[in-house]
Amino acid sequence: MRRSAALLILALGLAGCDVIDTVIEGLKHVHEVETDLEASTGMKPEVGFDWRNGRLARVTVTFPRIDDKQPIRELAETVRRAVGKHFRQTPRDIVLGFSLGKSPAGTVAQFIE
């Protein structure tokens, strides 16, 4: 019973601050960015974000593979536009990444721009 009361008090306290709203809004923006980038690139990325002291510190966009059809600078600009369009704040940093998957030993990923 005490545990339930403590959780209720904690939930009411958090509801009064912007923490819950920030997380809910952030997840909404993440979904929007993922959908936008999937439509424009054909690959669905994983998008994450980091808020610090009420400020959007970092957005991380990780694609499942390197796309040989689109130059990296063009992809970076596409990501920058999608993040800017859907998040209300401009992040201090945007991190763009690619999953190389499981590759055999001695395999080297080459990137040609």
pLDDT tens digit string along 26-41? Answer: 788 899 999 999 999 9
Q: What topology is assigned to 17-98 in CATH?
A: GMP Synthetase; Chain A, domain 3 (3.30.300)
Which pLDDT value is given to residue 57?
92
Domain boundaries along the sequence of the chain: 17-98
Q: How far is CA 74 from CA 78, 98, 103, in A?
A: 6, 15, 26
Q: What's the chain's average pLDDT?
A: 82
Number of C-beta neighbours around residue 85 at 10 A: 11
pLDDT tens digit string along 56-90? Answer: 899 999 999 988 888 999 999 999 999 999 988 89
